[in-house]
Structure 1
């Protein structure tokens, strides 16, 4: 929750500086259907498809300057409320870096009439209740049931107009602690100091994009209550805001609601325009940064033009061809052909005024660094000199447009239609700017891409290398203005008492209206001629289809002696078949606008495809080839195996990865299928896997009598069945029955203990605790347990998060979870806390769980309302996209639920009382027999942990 975001999406559907629309009259674009349903993905078809993409809107502006955009989408009774303030980190003065983001956190802390913004919103069924800050803006998003729109508008208006009377020194200090732990959490990751270093190398001191959005610790320490008040008055006026309402709403209904809540808020000063141009370095620059990383990562970076520049879209496509596509130049040369790298990428990191053009490479262990960097530079130089081919541009453009269509499924949240319209107006003075960008994509020529790449990538380059070693720099000192050490450090203003007074009359929160019955797509079933079952939920909002083939396998099929085998086999399905190479597979997906991915969860292995409905037949043919005919060629196996070893090394260098690998083998035991280190496996096992083992694994598990197909999207069952029959109907199982996993293997005795893994120079400790519950496999009637877990730790307003994050300020977040596998269920609690509060946090976790389980602190009425009424009201939000519906029908199948489970879920929740929730907590969520894994700096935490009076075991890193 309350994410810290610093980048816009790769294809910037937002451009340039925004000017207010002033007192423009109501404007309505031409009505149109949102998307065509039958278009081919060739060049002509792409243009036709883009022509049909539309987000019809109306707009109006209040007298105080608040601009409102309204888009009507009646597919679900929900409304996305998206609020954009034209202030970001580039507007911060020296000595106050990180302040825009800190203020975003404060905006959730309550206003004069709303004590806590999350409680009433979540109780009303809001989802995606969140906010983010980047260089250019701050935004707040929530998607609410239609009947809760009045409540959401009142709350957004209250923090816009009635905040100052509720901000105290205590609130500032608490949120400062949360933000500083957010910074520590990011800094604590492998390569966690990279972004700071890139900004330092590319921009001079004082450039608005030079300091990071999270800021420096010293500046965060210096932020004062006076700063808060001045920042609000200067930047948070309605004339600096775009409010976007998208979904089950229209302008005629919205306008009086908006005028009621926002109309009396006075306008304020316009946010000062910031001048920020791209920077051309005088000459090439090189820097080497030592970090606790498993392999060397190198970067090539340039600044580029802002969102409104005509080169912005060509650079998006060019960088995608260079290193964004699966068939990119860097992938083909450095990863596949010459195997100098385990991973590569290139992208246009786009902001309003500037871009950062980045190419990066993880050098394969054992490869000469100089040779690898030489080839990286040569591939980039060749791309700049020659430009892309027409086929490369077509694939990149088709992939991009297909991914943007996916975004049209969501009315609100980050990246939904509300954000698209708001950003278009904010940056380009045109809510429909997305159409300009997509039209430019569809018409783009190789020559245009080549010219843009030559203009921007032929300039001096910043070369950065992150090399393995002991970290010598501190993230606490990075992210600031850039002149630290040469001028006096910023000092906080004196904490003089500030009189906190109301700025307006009391306002009552509107009561949300009741929600109607949930409409869940009708589920249809069929069976292919070879026995594969097919489940379809038809939805026609976008002309796309998600198809997933699920196999009863997963990484629990490995056992400790074969850890990593199943997922490595699944990874290799896309790396060549008996008739297609890995490059041909990647290129064909891109041409079709399809995305095919393999996955391995605890119980299930899967191949999932997202494609345009019009291209379903060739997409299914490709998917079938991947599933049925993998080649497991020696060279590809060696390459992917090396990449897997690099992934394991990356996981071992991550504090969260270390904790996750450690917990399950301890509590399940290595003899149980669930006693696994995870899907990546172990180094000795992966090193020994060859083509023969992978072919055997494929033959055992990837077979039609072990498969089910699930689909959601724009197609009828007869049409789907016909095309699936053509792709999979003649697939026959081999000899013998499909294998079965032994999920009833005995478990070790459970005891409460602390297992410590040393990770020097860690500013935070990762705590990951868990135990096996007395629940095995699909078990009906566990909704009370799910609600109890929401009270304890599953959600922003849960007890664990509110105490450790919001009250204490020791962490960026804490959560608990109860999984739902085919075998024994696992209860876990996880958090990352500042190192000096490691033992205190463990005590809080144990005490909070104990108080709930023993009845000392039973579920209260506010919590009860939030988790029951809130879930009932929020159900329509959970099924907005094809992928969300797919997850739901797959989960219903795996847990043995009926098709109407979700339509009956409101009645199920209403039948649960506080006693049932307390009973579930008492039986399942207590602190007894928890194994507590702690990954941190032992020099900082050992003495603390000894005060816990618990058995302590120190473990070494294990591959």
Structure 2
């Protein structure tokens, strides 16, 4: 997982938005570009109040109180990651992370009791510097979470068997295959090899090499635990509905008796300056040539790091970045560019990328790419670029205030500051340093680090010639001695652990969903507002009936391209000026589509809501559709389509929807890209016509969540959208009642040579619509079958058989016909076996394998207890309100959901599974290596159609 700038900030006080100030704005005034709240004042008020204590065994605990919801995030960081792995044991830290979820001496399973108690984001991750574990639970389940965390911290080993090790080894190997199978999936291996010498702690990948994973033994597991997982190497954060006075006795109760272990030594590591530039070309199954320019840089505690983060953000992170303006919008040599400083404890990766536009000479692209970087390094940024970059970063961080836990919440921010810098408030100091940056500071840092010899990697289309299974290790595998023949001999028995008993989970109060206020603009547009004041931000969506399904009445790809064109120019503003205006305001405006809707979403600082809405209105109501910009965006969409066709999961998903909904409006490509032929044919006039036809006030609804009152909001909305006249032509309607093709069992195999995995998508259309009520039992039945980590499909194919990294199923809720779909990336040699296992699981549910008491409790009581966790952020509340509106559900639907779940018994779940979750009549789309997969599939006795990858563009 990537480490980014800490994403949780805290108490921010901004001047309230004054209605009098709103009333003074003119309807067509220029977009205000000066932030209402000065940047330095905004940053100076950022803090996460906390208390910290340490147990005698060295466990450091940090507590942050946030009472906005009855939930607590528990975040645990262990000071051990892949950089601590010795030669021959690459990938071991991550493999051990998987084992950490397999149960401990007094807790046979970690996930089951937590999910039954209403946990969310129960997960873990490994990276170079650390391994972390996160869970967000209802307050009443906090002590249970602490018991479980302490039991595996102190008493894991008696529960780790050879069988568990072998199964999780297989899971991790499939995780590696899944990543390697993607276009550009081998780049990280090559980058580490190019930047660092053999033995450098940051050289090898966190996933490791197949050979090292295969060599891991039970003795290795025990040693890793004893050497690295002592409480003295841990930072634990509790953030949310908790205080230090309550937390400390609980921590002492459950963790106080754990013995400390050895201190994890700090690895000798740092940035490396290459002796000379290094250039490498790699041939891969990729749709476009991608150029990489990478340097190793300083770690996160270095003085230059804030300047490099902002400098690289200006180079290729902003929408108005130097690379975008020069190579995408300017010379039009690229279809996409990126740049970032990926900062770790002791080094950083300074990376710039360019996806070369098809048809452009590679040498010419390389020359211009390097020229832009060199000129920027020499000149440095402008004052305006620095202010825009810092404002956009700070605004994004304020939005992250809402999360108490998870990988990037307030808990992770405090833990990282303590672990890497000895200061939980390190993030605030970084933001203050960014706010005080001058252009000269950024230019000096860039010149210091980017003037060094570069590692240049070009990935070009062709047949993959390198094998990811042989990559990811130290790089000296060929010179190593063979492993000892008795390396897998049985490990000696372990003494029994002390007996401990889990605490009871306290009752969880019913969900109180935010109150929703409703109003209408003078032209009839409905407005829904849920006021939430946890952070000084507002999220607003302007949704229009008619999404990608509208392409059934226009040219495929029209709606998606039209929406993407909205911020590429308006009356009086070009694409760069629009991007710069958003950055100055700390706003983010985006237009996206789904099958049913076209949605423009805005996240804005409350203090800058007025000018942000002004900009949004211009984007929505008066897009320019300039011919030159349309041509440029068409090229980018065509390149995006080629990326989709090269990505096995994206290709399988796209083709599945087209097949099961063929002839229905939902039969359009679900990514909204259309086909190469249809995209190429679109004109500015087509896009303008689609805009006028589908983006109109009588098809629109406005939903707002955040720190604003209706009295403040309504005049703004009326000024910017209330005078939008309804066209004389009747509003278009999409025929969602159109017939869908009859379901029939079949396999469509899309040949993708050299694929170590097969991606399976399977499903069928159901005789239900999204607006039908009373089908919650179906959702619960799917939760039993494939709706989560503990569901039957994932438990079987991942945890038991180790053929996949993850198998999931779902029953989405479009307005029209609902459908069942499952996805299963599986190792290629187990493709047909995986289908047999899927069918067996579905056939057995509920007949020979009815719902168990544990499953019933998990999917009903667990779901009830998880409800408060489900609406922690403004985005979550916004999504729930919009879902209710779209499906015709009452505003209090989620408040009634607990009682619906309580009244749903095993019989109701079984009935739903029997009617809707049958394995017969499924359409299978499989993207994999035909040579490996087809012979297996022929044994299944289903009709098989073979397609080549390129056929799917049409």
Cα shift readout 1:880-921 (whole Å, capped 9, x = no counterpart): 000010000000111111111111111111011110011110
Cα shift readout 1:736-792 (whole Å, capped 9, x = no counterpart): 111000111112221111111100000000000010001023011111111100000
What does residue range 68-147 of structure 1 map to in structure 2 within 5 Å? 68-147=61-140
Question: In 2, distance between residues paired with 1:777 and 1:878?
Answer: 21
Of 3, 8, 16, the residue aligned with 2:3 is 8
Partner of 1:300: 293
Contact 1:224 1:492 in 2 (8 A): no
Task: Determine helix, strand or coil for the equivalent of 2:102.
Answer: coil
Partner of 1:890: 882
Which shifted more, 672-681 or 458-467? Answer: 672-681
Deviation of 1:497 (Å): 2.1
Task: Determine helix, strand or coil for the equivalent of 1:212.
Answer: coil
Of 919, 922, 930, the residue aligned with 2:914 is 922
Cα shift readout 1:384-442 (whole Å, capped 9, x = no counterpart): 10100000000000000001111111000010000000000000100111110111111
Task: Determine helix, strand or coil for the equivalent of 2:432.
Answer: helix
Question: In 1, distance between residues paired with 2:405 and 2:484?
Answer: 40
Question: In 2, distance between residues paired with 1:275 and 1:345?
Answer: 30
Deviation of 1:32 (Å): 9.0
Q: Scaled by the length of structure 2, what TM-score is found?
A: 0.97
Distance 1:804 1:904, change over 3 A: same
Of 915, 937, 940, the residue aligned with 2:932 is 940
1:869 aligns with 2:869: no
Deviation of 1:496 (Å): 2.1
Contact 1:166 1:500 in 2 (8 A): no
Contact 1:300 1:463 in 2 (8 A): yes
Of 504, 507, 512, the residue aligned with 1:511 is 504
Question: In 2, distance between residues paired with 1:650 and 1:63?
Answer: 54
Distance 1:299 1:490, change over 3 A: farther
Distance 1:492 1:772, change over 3 A: farther
Contact 2:6 2:413 in 1 (8 A): no
1:955 aligns with 2:947: yes
Of 643, 647, 670, the residue aligned with 2:640 is 647
Deviation of 1:931 (Å): 0.3
Of 604, 617, 620, the residue aligned with 1:611 is 604
Of 827, 837, 845, the residue aligned with 1:834 is 827
Deviation of 1:492 (Å): 7.6
Of 295, 307, 319, the residue aligned with 1:314 is 307
1:716 aligns with 2:694: no
What does residue range 412-561 of structure 1 map to in structure 2 within 5 Å? 412-488=405-481, 494-559=487-552
Contact 1:47 1:439 in 2 (8 A): yes
Deviation of 1:734 (Å): 1.7
Distance 1:32 1:696, change over 3 A: closer
Q: Which runs of 5+ in 2 are unaligned?
A: 18-32
1:688 aligns with 2:684: no
Partner of 2:657: 664
Deviation of 1:500 (Å): 3.8
Partner of 1:400: 393
Question: In 2, distance between residues paired with 1:339 and 1:375?
Answer: 11
Deviation of 1:517 (Å): 2.1
Contact 1:558 1:673 in 2 (8 A): no
Contact 1:37 1:543 in 2 (8 A): no
Question: In 2, distance between residues paired with 1:801 and 1:913?
Answer: 23
Deviation of 1:678 (Å): 3.4
Deviation of 1:933 (Å): 0.8
Question: In 1, distance between residues paired with 2:857 and 2:570?
Answer: 54
1:229 aligns with 2:222: yes
Question: In 2, distance between residues paired with 1:195 and 1:61?
Answer: 38
Task: Determine helix, strand or coil for the equivalent of 2:772.
Answer: coil
Question: In 2, distance between residues paired with 1:801 and 1:239?
Answer: 35
1:600 aligns with 2:593: yes
Deviation of 1:494 (Å): 2.2
Question: In 2, distance between residues paired with 1:782 and 1:492?
Answer: 57
Question: In 2, distance between residues paired with 1:717 and 1:489?
Answer: 72
Q: Which runs of 5+ in 1 are unaligned?
A: 15-30
Partner of 1:273: 266
Cα shift readout 1:361-405 (whole Å, capped 9, x = no counterpart): 000000111111111111111111010000000000000000111
What does residue range 804-823 of structure 1 map to in structure 2 within 5 Å? 804-823=797-816
Partner of 2:317: 324
Which shifted more, 434-443 or 58-67? Answer: 434-443
Deviation of 1:542 (Å): 0.2
Partner of 1:761: 754
Of 184, 192, 199, the residue aligned with 1:191 is 184
Question: In 1, distance between residues paired with 2:36 and 2:712?
Answer: 26
Distance 1:478 1:41, change over 3 A: farther
Deviation of 1:50 (Å): 1.1
Question: In 2, distance between residues paired with 1:788 and 1:43?
Answer: 50
Partner of 1:633: 626
Deviation of 1:727 (Å): 1.0
Distance 1:571 1:779, change over 3 A: same
Question: In 1, distance between residues paired with 2:6 and 2:49?
Answer: 19
Partner of 2:726: 733
Q: CA RMSD in A?
A: 1.4
